[in-house]
Amino acid sequence: MELKFEFVIYDEELDSFELDDNIYTFVLDEEQAKTFEILKDGELYLYNWFKDSSYFLDWIKEEVYPDSTGKKIAIATIDDILYLKFYFFKVTSADTFYDYFQELFGILSESDWQDREEVGEQILEQLAVKRQELIIELKEDEDEQV
């Protein structure tokens, strides 16, 4: 099974992400394909499975970003599963992103009149932590991955 990946590159000084315009193909073996099918509906479970998989990290270091020790990246897409909302959410983002993050972070709106910007700021506060969890730091030893 072949999957298409896109990545974002994290700039620690600016605390920002930049989209890598390339699309990379990663081939799963039969056992990995079965695991993918099980996890694909739980997008963060899927993300963490790849992030914690030594064969995936080795592929990134050898094929995607060779000689990039110390580089920090994150997964932008896995086939049609998008993670871009985590890196590029803004207070002006679409309602679907608000709904998604309100549910993910357990942010309650007490009434319809609650200021959208207030909810957006709460989402951004939670995302500051979540983004750090999603970052993959390319290190020499895969046991040291962030």
pLDDT of residue 146: 45
**What averages of pLDDT result for each successive group of 10 residues across the chain (146 residues)?**
97 94 96 95 94 94 89 95 94 88 86 73 94 91 48
Terminal Cα-to-Cα distance of the chain (whole angstroms): 27
Domain ranges of the chain: 2-144
pLDDT of residue 93: 87
Please compute, for residue 123, the number of CA atoms within 13 A of its CA located in the half-sphere on the CB side: 28
d(CA 29, CA 72): 26
d(CA 138, CA 69): 5
- Name the helix (H) or strand (E) containing 16: strand 16-19
* pTM beyond 0.85: yes
- Cα 76 to chain centroid distance, Å, stands at 6
